[in-house]
Amino acid sequence: MNVTRDETMPAEAYRLFVTPCRIDIVAGGAQGAFYAVQTLRQLLPAAAYEADDVRAVELPVVTIEDKPCLGYRGMMLDVGRHFFTVDEVKEALDIMALHKLNVFHWHLTDDQGWRIEIRKYPKLTEIGSVRSRTLIGRDPGGTYDENCKFDETPYGGYYTQDEIRDVVNYAAERFITVIPEIEFPGHAVGALASYPWLGCTGEQYEVRQTWDIDDRVFCIGKETTFEFIEGVLEEVLELFPSEYIHIGGDECPTVMWKKCPHCKARMKAERLKRPRRLQNYATARVEKFLNAHGRRLIGWDEILEGDVTPTATIMSWRGAEGGIKAAKMGNHAIMAPTTHCYLDYYQTRDTAGEPLAIGGYLPVEKVYSLDPYEMLTADEQRCILGVQANLWTEYVLSDEHLEYMLLPRLAALSEVQWCLPETKDWNRFIGSFRMDEIYSQMGYEFAKHIFGVTASYAVDPEKGGVVMTLTTQGGAPIRYTLDGSDPTASSPLYKAPVTIGESCTFKAAALREGMQTPVYARKFDFNKATGRRIALNAAPTLKYTYGGASLLVDGYRGGPVYSNGAWIGFLNEPLDVTIDMQGAKPYSAVTVESLVEKGEWVFPPSSVGVYLSDDGREFTEAALMSVPQETAGSPDGVKPFKVLFPETSARYLRVVARTVDPIPAWHGAAGQKAHMFVDEIIVE
């Protein structure tokens, strides 16, 4: 193999020539040569990875010319919620290198743990790195009762400064820059538990045991707070040579600032009109400090809420809007929207067989579809530095789970980072995908959903049922069953869409040699409304419309995750639908299934009304039920609300369920309008 440098090429660009006799690499710099080697690794046959002594391998004769379209190609790992050892972090860096990523965003501090040694403030690791226990299962969002379970086991860990240097050097050898994140001014309980005088009240705190947002944040009114953060950053700057330092800035409540005399005095002295402006003030001070030391600041998109300096870089996580706004202002931005880049989300809608995740649904194809330049002019596009995947670890407890959440979604993100939007081709990507072979030979855990069955189904009112359509990568044979058993080679072969007309458990699998692929499963519970025509009379929340009204009569129960695509969400409008019963047998009850997740502002309906008509125009009230208000201690979950009325055969059935308005006084969002999610209307 021969490697030469071409100084006319960008440093990360390369040309790879594989001929029958030799391999030549021409690169703009050492980075480009490194990425060419990663491409060679991807071309190697799987056998080369499992052999102890490889003397010869066959490679395709090929010429590849490649360079990234984005200079910042990042991945964030949260070690505040769950700690990962140095060796585990290095393994994550190896995975990044394989996918040609070049920025490791290390989220080192949070409410649940401070993970970096600061010699000037030793209590940060003596106290702040350890929480007394951890919540088992899903965090209910601040509503804790006897149903909540804790492991009652102290949990901690931190990196010494020598270990930090080791990781930084290890990353640099793979042309990866490590950017540390020190959260400020929110997500601060780990620091406040160590040094209570950093808070507004000075009271003794505990390192947080749960995952939701905490009101206890750094006091911006005290000069000692800034002495502290500058002292921390002085040591951080010695450890990390990166141009950028991330200071967080996200999810910072102002509750304490509104009451704090120190913060009030700061607002008066600086002529700040609102407590939120204290965050802008704090960010500007920290940025000035960093700039004085030759570094640049990155913050989450909340730092846009007020005055922001033109030199600050915005990491857009609450969608693409923050990045778009920053680019239009002339600020640099990094796109990391929840919609495409949050790898702590589920990879499939069939969550029952998946490890616990924070929620959401982000399949590989959605990651691949990200366009970092959407809605931007050519000049504005220059402000987009790059794209970043974020892996938060509230529910990621092990190295194996970490790998599973990253792979293969990181491969899709790599293409986003390397290809211009107009050159991406999902069919090409999925049709030629072979990274799974490398993952297997490297011993990585990875999700196999893209190799399984992709299913879609639609209500067919003409047939009074649900029509299931199946596809799979590469056209592998698909077998299915209707009795709940796992498909085998002797199960019916899928040839055309399958019509389901009664309650059953439908299962399907792509049968691939040498690979156990996930089994697709859907349990359908039919009732008199299933498969009927249904129309929305009021619009759901756009973000949570998904498949529209038919989701309410498709026979499928959505489970406990409101964002999995099986639920329809309402906020500003009620659930208001009309079902054409089409001569169904007499009925006398309607059940509306609603999800309750009070920590996410998701409440059951305040009332459910049923109305009847023979012509679809004039309706008569059959029944109206008021739903008892939720209390702080009432359990969350899927809840049915059944309305009874005299038996009828009316052709048209109208169901109206109204949202809770306002949220009760005991809730942290008291006075706001509640979300309501519905997944099925059951008629009996």
Helix (H, G, I), strand (E, B) or coil at 546: coil
Strands (E), 526-586: 533-536, 568-570, 575-580
Selecting among 6, 88, 230, 251, the annotated active-site residue is: 251
* CA distance linking residue 35 with residue 27, whole number of Å: 9
Q: Is 162 a catalytic residue?
A: no
Going by C-alpha positions, the residue among 487, 482, 491, 481 that lies closest to residue 509 is 487
Other CB atoms within a 10 A radius of the CB of residue 572 amount to 11
CA angle, 531 as apex, 614 and 450 as ends, to 5°?
Answer: 155
Contact 567, 540 (CB under 8 A): no
* CA distance linking residue 134 with residue 112, whole number of Å: 9
* CA distance linking residue 548 with residue 566, whole number of Å: 10
Strand order in the sheet with 453-460: 453-460, 465-472, 498-500
Please count the CA atoms within 13 angstroms of the CA of 61 that sit on its side-chain side: 4
Please count the CA atoms within 13 angstroms of the CA of 234 that sit on its side-chain side: 9
Selecting among 12, 110, 117, 394, the annotated active-site residue is: 110
Question: Which helix (H) or strand (E) segment is 2 a member of?
Answer: strand 2-5
The token duo for 561 is 């995750």
How many helices (H) and strands (E) the chain has is answered by: 18, 35
Contact 141, 210 (CB under 8 A): no
Selecting among 187, 246, 340, 667, the annotated active-site residue is: 187
Phi, psi (rounded to 5 degrees) for 538 = -140, 145
* CA distance linking residue 343 with residue 92, whole number of Å: 14
The token duo for 240 is 């990390």
The token duo for 225 is 């707070």
* CA distance linking residue 469 with residue 621, whole number of Å: 39
The token duo for 310 is 């033109």
Contact 317, 336 (CB under 8 A): yes
Q: What is the 3-state secondary structure (H, E, C) of 321-370?
A: HHHHHHHHHCCCEEECCHHHHECCEECCCCHHHCCCCCEEECCHHHHHCC
Helix (H, G, I), strand (E, B) or coil at 553: helix
* CA distance linking residue 33 with residue 26, whole number of Å: 7
Q: What is the 3-state secondary structure (H, E, C) of 74-124?
A: EEEEECCCCCCCHHHHHHHHHHHHHCCCCEEEEECEECCEECECCCCCCHH
Q: Is 374 a catalytic residue?
A: no
Q: Is 187 a catalytic residue?
A: yes
Through-space distance between the first and last CA atoms of the chain, rounded to whole angstroms: 73
Catalytic positions are 110, 187, 251
